[in-house]
């Protein structure tokens, strides 16, 4: 991701400082995952630099059952389109990364 701030909230630090904050990750991978979302809490964040790409990588802990239906649905959809995604990333490797869509929520 290239943006780590959303208004006055820092994507990583704000959610780490207050346990009631978490990320709502929205995944749009038609036709399998249109409007799909998962709640997650950031665990780690590192700066990422490759050629012209300056971004951040972040590891998250999903707040849903790792053996549950939402994760199974996500994994199945991702596996079906892995080759397509790999080709896209290969063809865009030298382009600057764009912003990531995230929302902050308080409470569960």
| Burial class, 12, CB count within 10 angstroms (exposed 0-12 / middle 13-18 / buried 19+) | middle
Q: Note down the domain range covering 72.
A: 5-106
What is the predicted pLDDT for the residue at 2? 59
Q: Tell if the pTM clears 0.85, that is, is over it.
A: no
DSSP state of 11: T
Q: How many domains does the chain have?
A: 1
pLDDT digits (tens, 9 = 90+) for 34-89: 888 999 988 888 887 777 777 778 888 999 888 899 889 888 888 887 887 778 77
């Amino acid at each position: 991701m290239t943006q780590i701030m959303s208004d006055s909230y820092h994507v990583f630090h704000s959610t780490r400082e207050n346990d009631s904050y978490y990320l709502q990750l929205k995944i749009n991978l038609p036709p399998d995952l249109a409007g799909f979302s998962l709640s997650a809490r950031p665990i780690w964040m590192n700066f990422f630099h490759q050629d012209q790409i300056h971004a951040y990588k972040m590891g998250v802990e999903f707040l849903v059952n790792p053996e549950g239906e939402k994760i199974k649905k996500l994994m199945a959809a991702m596996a079906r389109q892995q080759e397509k995604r790999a080709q896209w990333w290969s063809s865009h490797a030298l382009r600057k990364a764009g912003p990531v869509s995230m929302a902050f929520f308080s409470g569960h």
